[in-house]
Amino acid sequence: MLQRVFVWLYAALVFLHTRVRHKKWVALALVAVYVVLRALGKAPTVGGETRPLLINPLMTETKDDGIHMAPTPVLAPWTNHTFECVGWKRIQTCVDEGSKSAEELEAEAATREPEKDFLGCAEEIGPMMAGYCIVRNRTSGDLFKLMISNCDSIPTGSYTCAMARAFSEFGLHSIGYEHAPVAPSLALPAAAARVTTRQPSNGVIMIIYDKVLPSAYATIRMLRVQGCELPVELWYRPDEMSIDNPIIHKLLADFNVRMRPIFDARAQGFHVKPYAVYYSNFDSVLLLDADNLPAKDPTYLFDEPAFLRTGAIFWPDYWQPIKLDGSRNQPRVMTHIQEYALDADPKLYRIFQAVHAHKECCYYIGTKSLPDGRPAASITPVDATMYAAIEDLAIQFSIEARGLLLADAAAHQLNSSDGGPSTLRVQTIVALFLLAYVVLIIAFVWCKARPARERLPSRWKPMESKES
């Protein structure tokens, strides 16, 4: 096939070189076609078609090492008198099998130096080390198993069991944590002032910047279409984006959205998310990424027994490189739905991460069956469910958002031009006239066998030399 393409290209070049005398008309025709397409809003794809997205299959091979040990809960902060680090105990020996054969693994195991089953509190624990830290309560004598790791828990870096105290107390101290504001006016009201008789408020918060505005618009439109009336806070950094934007104007006017600026220099990148959760005006929040597509009204989540009991519900992030950008040729990336039994104990589920070509892709439920024999999860094609049109609708909303941007840009262009509202129409007419003119000249020259100079008026022909 590649050879044929080269032959065709070579034949076309030879034809242009030998048969077409006025090659500039070909270039002018191509330029005219490009101008017409740009004027009509259908710019050609200069770089060719986009490459297809490879979505990892859900049957990605994973290794279950059989370690399902749960850490010992720490119910109260430690003191210098009660905390004592004993050390780190190895659970099993980790072997990087890779593509090695059984014989190679046996030979490697025979020559491998024996590993220490117990390490001190100051010794480092790194990748391919499965075990846990042992901590003793000096007052009661109870032993705690903390910081449990599997063979693949730590891809890089290291830690020591001396960190077990800070690690186990983190959740306890987070309850009373107060973020030092960058200015007194940004501080949260005192706890006593927050005690009122009003009903707790629920809402949605999202982090936005210029690149995700079409996607955020689509997500909010999806919420409203599904009947969700929760207010939405959009958090942004004024040094990264301006809210003088037609998408923002539309959301503020029609969809119960509030803008929340971030001035704290410490809240950068992913740190913006906990900052927004902490300073939100809502008592309970649903944190959505701009590329999350709700399948139904999420208001019921605030009344879920699991949320009322624990105060938090988390979902693994299904990462995809393709975002809703408002282009008309956006591909669909949602192909299947994985559902699980809501009445089962969440501790029975194992979440795995699919890795393709050494790149992280997504998380999925890897548990095949529950202890009672029921399937742990079911995988169904999206097109066979009631959610088949969700992604298509979100794509249309993102296109609508981009249309707002294009309309605003066109309005600015019209206002800044002298031609008034007919500027775009004049551009289109001029482009079409130019194309028709070039095509007419090429056809006229092509159909005539005589050189073009012989058909020129006599006054334009070159003067014949006197010698001839």
Model confidence pLDDT, tens digit, residues 39-61: 554 444 333 443 333 333 333 33
Q: What is the pLDDT of residue 122?
A: 94
Between residues 125 and 340, the one the model is more confident about: 125
Query: Which run of H or of E encompasses 33?
Result: helix 24-39
Tell whether the model's pLDDT for residue 117 goes beyond 50: yes
pLDDT of residue 322: 66
Q: Percentages helix, strand, coil for the chain, rounded to the nearest 5?
A: 40, 15, 45
Three-class SS of residue 110? helix
Question: What length is written for the chain?
Answer: 468
- pLDDT value, residue 451: 55
* Confidence category of residue 121, pLDDT binned at 50, 70, 90: very high
Which pLDDT value is given to residue 417?
A: 54
pLDDT at residue 32 tops 60:
yes
Mean pLDDT check: name the lowest of 81-85, 96-100, 133-137, 420-424: 420-424
Domain layout of the chain by residue ranges: 2-47+420-458, 83-175, 201-398
What letter does residue 90 receive in the DSSP assignment?
A: E
Say whether 464 sits in a helix, a strand or coil. coil
Side-chain-side CA neighbours of 58 within 13 Å: the count stands at 18
Alpha helices in 205-291 (DSSP H): 213-225, 246-254, 272-279
Please tell me the least confidently modeled range out of 4-8, 37-41, 65-69, 324-328. Answer: 65-69
Neighbours of 447 (CB within 10 A): 7
pLDDT for 336 equals 77
**Backbone Cα Rg of the chain:** 33
Residue 336's DSSP bridge partners are: 381
Q: Which of 29-33, 223-227, 413-417 has the highest mean pLDDT?
A: 223-227
* pLDDT score of 437: 81
User: For 144-203, how does the pLDDT look when each residue is reduced to its tens digit (9 = 90+)?
Assistant: 999 999 887 888 889 999 999 999 999 888 878 777 766 555 555 544 445 455 678 999
Per-residue model confidence (pLDDT) at position 37: 61
Element (H, E) at 12: helix 2-19
Give 424-454 pLDDT, tens digit per residue.
566 677 778 888 887 877 777 666 645 555 5
Q: How high is the pLDDT of residue 383?
A: 84
* Cβ-based neighbour number of residue 52 at 10 Å: 7
For residue 140, the SS3 value is: coil
DSSP secondary structure string, 396-432?
HHHHHHHHHHHHHHHHHHHHHSSSGGGHHHHHHHHHH
Supply the DSSP string of 175-194, one letter for each residue. HT-----SSGGGSPPPHHHH
Query: What pLDDT does residue 158 have?
Result: 92
Q: How far apart are CA 231 and CA 390, in angstroms?
A: 21
Give dist(CA 202, CA 209) in Å, integer: 23
pLDDT cut 90: percent of the chain above it: 32
